Structure 1
C-alpha cells in the first residue's frame, strides 16, 4: 500500500533509474517499481516541478509520450548543487521540522538528520541563523503521521470526521489505502460506516486513533488523480449558485470553474456536474445561506423541494 513517504523514496530512486535508461518504456519502469502505469505517470507529472533550485530554472525536463520516458537535460542538472543563503536556510528549517514529525519512521528520521548535518556543515553561518527559526506542525501534521503509520503497519483507524456539507461529526473506522495531495492532503480508504471506498481531508479529522485491529481493505484499482480529486467533464451542465458568508464553504467543498466575491461577503460560484439534480440537497442544506441561480428549472425544483419540506414540518 502506497503512502507519501514511500512515494518520495520512489521518486528519488526514479531520477537515478531514468538517468541511466534514456527512452525507458513506461510499462518496464512501472513493473520495476511495482506500481501501476497510472501511478508512474502521476510521479512523472510531479518530477518536472523538482530541480536543483528552489527558484526554478534548473527543473527536471522529463516527459513521456505514454509509451517511453525522456529526460532532456540530464547533464544540466547533474552539476554540483549550489544553494543561495535563503535557500539553504529554508531547507534546514524544513528538514528540522520534518525530523520532529510524530510517527516518522526512525530509519527515515536518522537519514534526514544525517543529510541535515551535511547541509549545516556546508552552509556555515547560514546554518546558525536558521537555527533561530522553527516550524510547528498543528493537528494536520499529527493526523498525517498517524495515517502514515497506520498504512505502514497495516492497521485500522478510528476517526471523528467533520462533513461541512452536513455540518456534522461522524465516527468512522477506516482501513487506510493511501495518502495523497491534491490542493489539500487526503487519505483514501475503506470506510466501514459507508461500506465503500471514501476519501477524507486530513484537516477535517477532529480526532484519530490507530487501532490494534489489522487493516484489510478490499482490493481496489487506484484512481488517476493527476487532473484533480473530482474531474467534471467539459460538457457537464453548468450550475450557478450564490451563497452568503455562511455558505462560503461550498467553494472549498465543490470543484468549481469560478468563484466571484459578492458585496455581502458571499460568493457567486459556477460549477459543472453530471447530475445537477443532486444539488437540490445542497440548496436545502444552505437554507438562507444560499440559492441556485441557474439553470432556472433546477432553481424552481429546489424552491419546490424547500416548500414541500416546510409544509411537512407544518403538518
Structure 2
C-alpha cells in the first residue's frame, strides 16, 4: 500500500512534475552578444570614422610628400630650416623649451642638414601608417598618436602654407581620434575597450562649432548674406577666381533670383539651426547627420566650394 499512497500524494501535490515556465513580461528581448557589439556602443561608428580619418591623413601626407620640398624644403619658397633658425635667434639666451613651445615639432630633434630627407621621411611614414589603418581597419592609440604627431610637426614648420583652417581642423579631429581607440590591441572590435561617449560628444561638439561658426561668420561678415543676395554672384566669382572651377557653377549662376535666395536661406538654416539638433536625442542626431551629408555633397558637386567645409558626422 505504500507505493500507491506515495503515487497518490505525488498526483495531488504535484510531486516532481515539471512546473510551467513563468510568463515573460512583454517587451524587447535582452540583448545578447559581445559587450562591444551591444546597441549604443558606437562600434560601427568607430570603424567607419577611423578609416575615414586615416584616409584624410593619407591624402594630407600625400600632398605633403609632393609639395613640401618645393614649399618648405632646403630650396623651397619658405625654407623650414631658415624658419627654425630665426626662431632660435629670437629666443637666444633663453631655454630650448621656449623655441619648442613657439613651434612644437619633432624636427627640432633631427639633423637640419638633411631637411628635404626629413620632410620626405615624415610624409612617407605618415602615408604608411595611414594606409595600414585604411586597409586593415585596425588602429590603436599609438598609431593614431603617431599620425597626429607627424602632421602636427609638419603644420608647425609649414608657415603660411599650413595656415588654413582645415589643417588644424584635421589636427583637432585627429586628436579626438586618438582616444577613440584602445591603447595596444589592433582588434577591430576590442571587447574590453568600448567606444567612449566622451569622445563621441567631443566629435559632436566639434561639428557643432564648425557649422555654427561658418554660419555666424557669414551673417556677421557681409550684408549680402543678410540680404540673401550672396548667391547672385557667388558662382561667377568661383568661375573667375578658382583654379579648377566646377562646370555646374555656370548653369547654377543662370538660375533665377528666387532660387539664389532659397540657396542662401537653406545655407543659414543648415549652418545656424541644424547644428542644435545634436543635443535633442538620437533621432534628431540622425536627421542632423543626413542633412549635413546632403549639404556637403551638394557643396562638392556644385560650386567647387566643398573643400572649405569638410566635416565628420557622428550620429
Structure 1 and Structure 2 fold alike (TM over 0.5): no
For the superposition of Structure 1 and Structure 2, which TM-score range results when normalised by the shorter chain? under 0.3
- Compare CA radii of gyration and give the structure with the larger one: 2
Q: TM-score, normalised by structure 2?
A: 0.22
TM-score after normalising by structure 1 = 0.22
Structure with more strand by fraction: 1
